[in-house]
């Protein structure tokens, strides 16, 4: 069996305060190459908190996150920053595109930060990614000139900019209508099946989650169940 792409070992995240708040409670999980995984649960169950720990955006109070076997908690912030740029891509519910930059420049931002490609190479890669996502005619536009679904596709292109093995998405369809949600979902599925990436997505949409390889169900910050897609389909409400 191949090594995990990303692994959490007994990860807990506690917010300090007069009354400390446990956001994530003793979570252990392992996610491999080319997996399409949903994180689900009720509001306040720790879904986004867990995703931010997996994405090295937050540090656990205890436990460890490993990426391709490398423990991350003892890395310097500079080392974690390099791992985030090279190994991880992020898609958020509200895309966080910079409004003053063109679509092309938004996609180039992670490449500029990593500093591996030359400017012509960055432009060529960004243009190619946007074209592959049906946005080839929009590279010079500002984000506010695009629809919500188009902006989210730009965010996916930006997440893929440095060719990371793992894409982490936080409610990527949460602010979209049903048609745009389906389009973004299909793009994320193509990222797994066509581009060979792993996608881990927080979602409240059990219909979409049931179409992923497996679903990690959280309750009160802890893993309640890990459900494979065949089992998850049985949880879908009847359409009749």
> pLDDT digits over 186-219, tens only?
888 988 998 999 999 998 888 888 889 999 999 9
Cα distance between residue 107 and residue 159, in whole Å: 8
Distance CA 105, CA 139 (A): 8
pLDDT value at residue 1? 39
Measured CA to CA in angstroms, residue 220 lies from 65, 116, 125, 183, 208 at distances of 20, 41, 42, 31, 22
Does the residue 150 lie in any domain? Answer: yes
Residue 105 domain-assigned (yes or no): yes
Quote the domain boundaries for residue 62. Answer: 6-233
Q: pLDDT (tens digit, 9 = 90+) per residue, 25-54?
A: 999 999 999 999 999 988 888 899 999 999
pLDDT bracket for residue 238 (50, 70, 90): very low
Residue 186: inside a domain: yes
Query: Residue 138, class by beta-carbon neighbours within 10 Å (0-12 exposed, 13-18 middle, 19+ buried)?
Result: buried
CB 129 within 8 A of CB 161: yes
Q: Please check whether residue 239 lies inside any domain of the structure.
A: no
**Overall number of domains in the chain:** 1
Whether residue 31 is contained in a domain is answered as: yes
Is 229's pLDDT higher than 60? yes
pLDDT confidence tier of residue 230, bands split at 50, 70 and 90: low
CATH number at residue 132: 3.40.50.300
Fill in the DSSP letter of residue 154. Answer: H
Q: Is the pLDDT of residue 240 over 80?
A: no
Q: How confident is the model at residue 235 (pLDDT cuts 50, 70, 90)?
A: very low
Q: Is residue 1 part of a domain?
A: no
Q: How far is the CA of 190 from the CAs of 36, 220, 226, in angstroms?
A: 10, 32, 23
Mean pLDDT of the chain: 87
8 Å CB contact between 29 and 51 = no
| % pLDDT > 90, the chain | 55
pTM recorded for the entire structure: 0.88
Q: Is residue 240 part of a domain?
A: no
- Asked if the structure places residue 146 within a domain, the reply is yes
Of the candidates 137, 202, 190, the residue with the CA atom closest to the CA atom of residue 160: 190
């Amino acid at each position: 069996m191949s090594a995990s792409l990303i692994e959490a070992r007994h990860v807990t995240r506690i917010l300090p305060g007069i009354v400390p708040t446990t956001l994530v409670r003793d979570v252990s999980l392992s996610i491999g190459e080319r997996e399409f995984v949903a994180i689900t649960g009720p509001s306040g169950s720790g879904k986004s908190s867990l995703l931010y720990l997996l994405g090295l955006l937050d540090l656990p109070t205890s436990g460890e996150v490993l990426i391709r076997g490398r423990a991350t908690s003892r890395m310097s912030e500079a080392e974690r920053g390099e791992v985030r740029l090279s190994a991880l891509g992020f898609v958020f519910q509200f895309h966080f595109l910079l409004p003053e930059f063109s679509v092309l420049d938004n996609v180039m931002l992670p490449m500029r930060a990593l500093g591996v490609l030359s400017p012509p190479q960055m432009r060529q890669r960004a243009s190619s990614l946007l074209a592959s996502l049906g946005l080839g005619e929009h590279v010079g536009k500002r984000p506010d000139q695009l629809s919500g679904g188009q902006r989210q596709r730009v965010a996916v292109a930006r997440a893929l900019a440095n060719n990371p093995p793992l894409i982490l998405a936080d409610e990527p369809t949460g602010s979209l209508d049903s048609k745009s949600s389906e389009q973004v979902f299909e793009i994320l599925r193509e990222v797994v099946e066509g581009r060979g990436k792993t996608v881990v997505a927080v979602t409240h949409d059990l219909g979409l989650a049931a179409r992923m390889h497996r679903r990690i169900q959280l309750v009160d910050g802890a893993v309640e169940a890990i459900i494979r897609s065949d089992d998850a389909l049985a949880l879908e409400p009847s359409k009749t």
